[in-house]
Chains A and B, each alone.
Chain A
Amino acid sequence: MRSSSLTAPEPDERGSDVHLKPVPDPTPQPPAAGHQPSIAELERYATVLRINCVRMLAVAKSGHLDSSLSAADIVTALYYRVLRHDPSNPKWPERDRFVLSKGHAAPIQYAALAEHGYFPHKDLMGLRSIGSHLQGHPDMTRTPGIEVSTGSLGQGLSMAVGICLALRLDGLHETAHAFTLMSDGDIQEGESWEGAAAAAHFGIPNLTAIVDYNHLQTDGTTEEVMDTGDVRAKFEAFGWDAIEIDGHDMEGIVEALERSRSVGRPAAIVCQTKKGRGVSFMEGRFGFHGKPPSQEQAQEAMDELEARLQEQNRELEGAPSDG
Chain B
Amino acid sequence: MAEAKTEPIATRQAYGDALVELGERHDDVVALDADLAVSTQSIKFGKKFPDRFFNCGAAEAGMMSMSCGLAATGKVPYASTFAIFATARSYDQVRVGIAHNRLKVRIGASHGGVSLGEDGATHQMIEDIALMRAMPRMQVVVPADYNQAYAAVIDSYERFEEPMYMRFGRPSTPIVYDEIPETLGEGVDVLREGKDISIFVCGHMVWRALEAADSLAREDGIEAEVVNVSIIKPLDTEAVLKSLAKTGVAVTAEEHRVVGGLADAVREVAAEEHPVPIFALGMQDEFGVSGTAEACMEHFGLTASGIADRAREAMIKKPIVSHAPFHTG
Give the B-binding residues of A (Cβ under 8 A). 93, 97, 99, 139-141, 147-152, 154-167, 169-170, 190-191, 194-195, 197-198, 201-202
Given A165-B66, A191-B65, decide whether A140 and B101 contact each other with a Cβ distance below 8 A.
yes
Q: How far apart sit A194 and B93, CA to CA, in the bound complex (Å)?
A: 13
B69: contacting residue among A93, A162, A191, A197, CB under 8 A: A162
Tell me, rounded to whole Å, the shortest Cβ–Cβ distance linking A314 to chain B: 43
Interface residues of B (CB under 8 A from A): 30, 51-52, 54, 56-57, 59, 61-75, 77, 92-93, 96-97, 100-102
Given A155-B96, A163-B69, answer yes or no on A198-B59 (Cβ-Cβ < 8 Å).
Answer: yes
Q: A159-B66, A169-B52 are in contact. Are A149 and B73 (CB under 8 A)?
A: no
Q: How far is the CB of B157 from chain A (nearest CB, A)?
A: 17
Residue contacts A-B, CB under 8 angstroms, 19 given: A140-B101, A148-B69, A148-B97, A155-B68, A155-B93, A155-B96, A158-B64, A158-B65, A158-B68, A159-B97, A161-B66, A162-B71, A163-B70, A165-B30, A166-B30, A166-B72, A167-B73, A170-B73, A195-B62
Is the beta-carbon distance between B72 and A158 smaller than 8 angstroms? Answer: no
Contacts A162-B66, A169-B52 given; indicate if A191 touches B61 (C-beta within 8 A).
yes
Instruction: List chain B residues, Cβ under 8 A from A164.
Output: 69
Q: Is the CB of A197 within 8 A of B72?
A: no
Q: Which chain A residues lie closer than 8 Å to B54 at the CB level? A: 165, 202
Question: CA A198 – CA B57 in complex, angstroms?
Answer: 8
Contact of B74 among A149, A166, A197, A198 (CB under 8 A): A166
- Distance to closest chain A CB from B140 (angstroms): 21
Instruction: For A97, list chain B residues within 8 Å (CB).
Output: 73
Which of the listed residues A156, A162, A190, A198 has the most CB atoms from chain B within 10 Å of its own CB? A162
Inter-subunit contact A194/B59 (CB<8 Å): yes
CB distance from B104 to the nearest CB of A (A): 13
Nearest CB in chain B: distance from A10 CB, A = 32
Known: A158-B64, A191-B59. 10 other contacts (CB 8 A): A155-B96, A158-B65, A158-B68, A158-B93, A159-B72, A162-B70, A163-B72, A166-B74, A198-B57, A198-B66
**Complex Cα distance A69/B59, Å?**
33
Contact A158 B61 (CB under 8 A): yes
Give chain A's interface secondary structure class: helix
Q: Is there an interface contact between B93 and A191, defined as CB atoms closer than 8 Å?
A: yes
Query: How distant is the Cα of A148 from the Cα of B70 in the complex, in angstroms?
Result: 11
Q: Quick check: B66 and A197 within 8 Å, CB to CB?
A: no
**In the complex, which residues of chain B have a beta carbon less than 8 angstroms from the beta carbon of A158?**
61-66, 68-69, 93
Of A148, A156, A170, A201, which is within 8 A of B101 by CB? A148
- Most interface-central of A164, A169, A170 (chain B CB within 10 A): A169
- Interface pair B75/A166, CB less than 8 Å apart: yes
Q: How far is the CA of A163 from the CA of B66 in the complex (A)?
A: 7
Pairwise interchain contact B92-A162, C-beta atoms closer than 8 A: no
Closest A-B pairs by Cβ, 7 of them: A162-B69, A194-B62, A158-B65, A166-B73, A162-B66, A194-B59, A163-B69
Q: How many Å lie between the Cα of A93 and that of B30 in the bound state?
A: 19
B73, closest chain A residue (CB): A166
B95 to chain A, nearest CB (A): 8
The answer to whether A169 and B101 touch across the interface, beta carbons within 8 angstroms, is no
B74 near A170 with CB under 8 A, answer yes
Distance A178 CA – B97 CA, assembled complex (angstroms)? 17
Interface centre among B54, B65, B96, B101 (most CB of A within 10 A): B65
CB distance from A312 to the nearest CB of B (A): 36
- Whether A160 lies near B69 (C-beta < 8 A) is yes
Give the residues in chain B near A195, CB-CB below 8 Å: 62, 65-66
Residues of chain A with a CB closer than 8 A to B69's CB:
99, 148, 158-166
Cα distance A190–B101 when bound, in Å?
Answer: 22
Q: Which residue of B lies closest to A180 (CB)?
A: B69
Shortest C-beta distance, A322 to chain B (Å), equals: 36
Across-interface contacts of A139 in B (CB, < 8 A): 100
B229 CB, nearest partner CB in chain A, Å: 29
Residue of B nearest to A152 (CB): B96
Residues of A within 8 A of B74 (CB): 93, 166, 170
- For B97, the chain A residues whose CB sits under 8 A away are 148-149, 155, 159
Residue contact A197 to B59, C-beta cutoff 8 Å? yes
| Shortest distance between the CB of B313 and any CB in chain A (Å) | 45
Question: Across the interface, do A166 and B70 meet the contact criterion of CB distance under 8 Å?
Answer: yes
Q: How far is the CB of A320 from chain B (nearest CB, A)?
A: 42
Q: What are the residues of chain A within 8 A of B56 when measuring CB–CB?
A: 194, 198
Q: Which residues of B contact A169 (CB under 8 A)?
A: 30, 51-52, 75
A84→B72 CA distance, assembly (Å): 18
B75 in contact with A148 (CB, 8 Å): no
Kindly identify which residue among B52, B62, B64, B68 contacts A148, using a CB–CB cutoff of 8 Å: B68
A13 to B51, CA, bound (A): 52
Closest chain B residue to A191 by CB distance? B61
Q: B61's closest neighbor in chain A, by CB?
A: A191
- Contact residues in A for B73 (Cβ distance below 8 Å): 97, 162-163, 166-167, 170
B72 and A141 contacting across the interface, CB-CB below 8 Å: no
Inter-chain CA distance A190–B59, complex, in Å, is 10
In the complex, the answer to whether B72 meets A140 with C-beta atoms within 8 Å is yes
Query: Are A162 and B65 within 8 A (Cβ)?
Result: yes
